Amino acid sequence: MASVVLDNVTKVYPGGVEAIKGISLAIANGSFTVLLGPSGCGKSTLLRMIAGLETITTGTCKIGDRVVNDVEPAERDIAMVFQNYALYPHMSVYDNMAYGLRNRRTPKDEIERRVREAAKMLAIEDYLERRPRALSGGQRQRVAMGRAIVREPQAFLFDEPLSNLDAKLRLQMRIEIRRLHNRLKATSIFVTHDQVEAMTLADVVVVMNGGRIEQIGPPTEVYNRPATKFVATFIGSPAMNLIPGRVTGRGQVAIDGAGTLAFDPDAFAVADGTMVEVGVRPEEMTVAPTGTSGIVVAPEFIEELGPNRLVHGLAGKAPLVLSVPSSAREIEKGPITLEIPANRVHVFDTTTGRALRG
């Protein structure tokens, strides 16, 4: 396996459309890195540039110790798993998995060993003589993964491989992909717009937006310490609440029409009088006892989700979502006061959108 290093790469299409805007990224050997972002942010383009399916306009891409800008895709020693499986419909499962090895003139007994081992690993041994049309979506995706595994490449590239599966199969395949990575310890780059996939699969999450990287870090760090408003609201379901306010003292933000909210002044450096946006995750607020200070919220409607309830309301004029246990019924009686730990409040610049960390 090998590391993948991008140095200030750009992608400009004819007509001046800039899809990738100077990205530098080092993917460690053996890591599982997820490129996460909304449709059109450039994540698939970046993956295809690593694979050699898109040319790099400027900058360099290295796989291992070799710069591969001008190396053909077939010679980059990578394997790619696509969203649409890309299986040959007229071939059996065995032949689909063996096809690339045969093209490389791999010895027959070695092909047999690799295909059988991969099929056992993916629990598709009983389907080797079938053709793709006789398989379910999840089984086809396993075959596509098996075809990549038998190559024993330097890096695996996954381009939204679970998008065509239903919710139950996606959960199952996420678990299988993570187990597979734990066994193979292979360098893997996985593209998705689904933040749940990113959080559950990744060693490192790369959050992208508008052709740029917003933040790089382990899933828990990206979730707990978002670098920008975009990251804060893109990761997490429901999204982080953003509430406008004015800093009125050390560690205090006044929310128009809703009271005062405290933040950790050692974590965020903000001058008095500064207009900011404070961020709070729905699950990190609790309903305060009567007479306790906090911000006041007027509930508008409630979503029942079984184990918990989502309360939609207004903090002054700002919309706010609160997640509470299903047993919490006091919120139905009118305006409520919320307690929020100061160390769970984030402060963002209203102009740049970046966290104002000290």
> What Rg value do the Cα atoms of the chain yield, rounded?
24
Write down the CATH superfamily of domain 4-233: P-loop containing nucleotide triphosphate hydrolases (3.40.50.300)
CATH 2.40.50.140 intervals, the chain: 238-349
Angle at which helix 93-103 crosses helix 108-121, to 10 degrees, equals 140
Contact between 181 and 121 under an 8 Å Cβ cutoff? The reply is no
CATH 3.40.50.300 intervals, the chain: 4-233
pTM: 0.90
Angstrom distance (rounded) from CA 335 to CA 331: 7
- Among 257, 259, 269, 258, which residue's Cα sits nearest to residue 349? 269
- Burial code (b: 16+ CB inside 10 Å, e: under 16) for 8-20 equals ebbbeeeeeeebb
Angle at 193 (CA atoms; ends 188, 194), nearest 5 degrees: 90
Helix (H, G, I), strand (E, B) or coil at 354: strand
With tokens 């306009």, the residue in question is 57
Chain centroid to Cα 250, Å, comes to 35
Per-residue pLDDT of the chain (358 residues; tens, 9 = 90+): 689 999 999 999 999 999 999 999 999 999 999 999 999 999 999 999 999 999 999 999 999 999 999 999 989 999 998 888 889 999 999 999 999 899 889 999 999 999 999 998 888 999 999 999 999 888 898 898 899 889 889 999 999 988 877 888 888 888 888 988 888 888 999 999 999 999 999 999 999 999 999 999 999 999 999 999 999 999 998 999 999 999 998 899 999 989 999 999 999 989 999 999 999 999 999 888 766 678 889 889 989 988 888 999 999 999 999 998 887 766 766 788 899 999 999 999 999 999 999 7
- Burial code (b: 16+ CB inside 10 Å, e: under 16) for 53-69 equals ebebeebebbbbeeebe
CATH fold for the domain made of 238-349: OB fold (Dihydrolipoamide Acetyltransferase, E2P) (2.40.50)
Other beta carbons within 10 Å of 319: 12
- Among 150, 121, 346, 160, which residue's Cα sits nearest to residue 253? 346
To which H or E segment does residue 93 belong?
helix 93-103
Chain centroid to Cα 242, Å, comes to 21
Retrieve residue 276's tokens.
């900011």
